[in-house]
Amino acid sequence: MKRYVKEFFHRGMLFAGFGPIILGVIYLVLQKTMPDFSLSGWEVCLSIASTYFLAFLQAGASVFPQIDHWSPLKSLLCHIATVYGAYVSCYLVNSWIPFRIEILLLFTAIFVASFLGIWLTIYLIVRGTRKTLNKKLN
Query: Which of 7-16, 54-63, 76-85, 123-132 bottoms out in mean pLDDT, i.e. has the lowest?
Result: 7-16
pLDDT at 100: 95
Write down how long the chain is.
138
Rounded Cα distance, 88 and 108, in Å: 9
Are 54 and 26 in contact, with CB atoms under 8 Å apart? Answer: no
Per-residue pLDDT at 15 exceeds 90: no
pLDDT at 101: 96
**Residue type present at position 78:** C
Q: What is the DSSP letter of 70?
A: S
Output phi, psi for 40, to 5 deg. Answer: -85, 165
pLDDT at 121: 92
pTM: 0.73
Rounded Cα distance, 50 and 89, in Å: 8
Q: What is the pLDDT of residues 18-73, one digit of tens each?
A: 777 887 888 888 888 988 888 888 888 898 889 888 988 988 898 998 888 999 88
pLDDT at 51: 87
Per-residue pLDDT at 112 exceeds 90: yes
Rounded Cα distance, 94 and 120, in Å: 31
pLDDT at 36: 86
Residue ranges per domain, the chain?
2-96, 101-138
**Residue type present at position 11:** R
